[in-house]
Amino acid sequence: MNRLADVALAGLGLVVSSPVLAAAAVAIKLEDGGPILYRQTRVGKDGRDFEVLKLRSMVVDAERQGAGYAVDRGDARITRVGRLVRRTSIDELPQLWNVVRGDMSVIGPRPTLRYQVDRYDERQRHRLDVRPGLTGWAQIHGRATLPWAERIELDLWYVEHRSSRVDLRILARTPLALLGGTYKGATGGWR
């Protein structure tokens, strides 16, 4: 059932977002003539590598410049169009195709790079027990504003407690998280 729901949601998402994707693709191409899509090897379920798709938001060959794979707020490698697509998470929309292909799920821990996975301890490796997702428990609790170790703990909580109810909570809270709100749990609500 989860896979069927993933394909249905991702397919619908691709259809609905196609005008936005087309406009972003044109803007990216016009800005510097480089490729529209950025492809990067990430680690998926059971530790298998797959190629994640994103709209390119940085200069060509950005990982060979500056901070490498690390991206900080205000990073000079981010293009003008890239700032907009990153801020609105439009750069993530091509990952709907990763969901259709079965590399990812709509909900799950965000896919990470191999060097990050190589640093996991035995407990943290359980993060790879599920397909990586477009959104997840860590995303609705602070996204990249959280320290890496805290994001891992939130993802592990999701792996251990995942259910349809939790998934629906994540889906309901994702739009607010994308708009900059952070969910602080039962005690704090949104801020």
Where would I find the beta strands (DSSP E) of 119-174?
133-135
pLDDT at 189 over 50: no
Where would I find the beta strands (DSSP E) of 128-179?
133-135
List pLDDT tens digits, range 95-150: 999 999 999 999 999 999 999 999 999 999 999 999 999 999 999 998 778 898 99
Task: Name the residue ranges covered by the structural domains of the chain.
Answer: 2-188
Is 111 within 8 Å of 132 (Cβ atoms)?
yes
pLDDT at position 108: 97
